[in-house]
Amino acid sequence: MSTSWPLWEVFIRPRRGLSHTHVGSVHAPDAAFAVRNARDLYTRRNEGVSIWVVPSAQITASSPDERDEFFDPAADKVYRHPTFYELPEEVRHL
């Protein structure tokens, strides 16, 4: 059994002005090769102008089981959204 190459998560910036977005993963022996493999795999049709790779094992994520206590408390803070506020129609630029 041969050594398997570690897994890397790939993030691509589709064009200037946009953030890097997760697109999938690649296997590569090291970071430099991971960038190249990601380039060859995920930008064959001009899909990107910049690539990040991160060892998959290095990602720390929130747990789906903590979802309620993580995200539900934000749901009732309606006053954070501009639509919460009623203004007279004649008011502009606000």
Q: Give the SS3 label for residue 3.
A: coil
CA geometry: angle 66, 68, 71, nearest 5 deg: 95
* Cβ pair 9, 25 in contact under 8 A: yes
Residue 23 contacts by C-beta under 8 Å, 6 or more apart in sequence? 10, 11, 12, 42, 47
**Smallest distance from the beta carbon of 90 to another protein, in angstroms?**
41
Nearer to another protein, 63 or 83 (CB): 63
**Smallest distance from the beta carbon of 8 to another protein, in angstroms?**
9
Q: Can you give the binding site for another protein, defined by CB under 8 A?
A: 1-5, 7, 9, 22, 24-30, 32-33, 36-37, 40-41, 44-45, 56-61, 63-66
Nearer to another protein, 64 or 88 (CB): 64
Nearer to another protein, 15 or 22 (CB): 22
- Please tell me what DSSP assigns to residue 61: -
**Smallest distance from the beta carbon of 15 to another protein, in angstroms?**
17
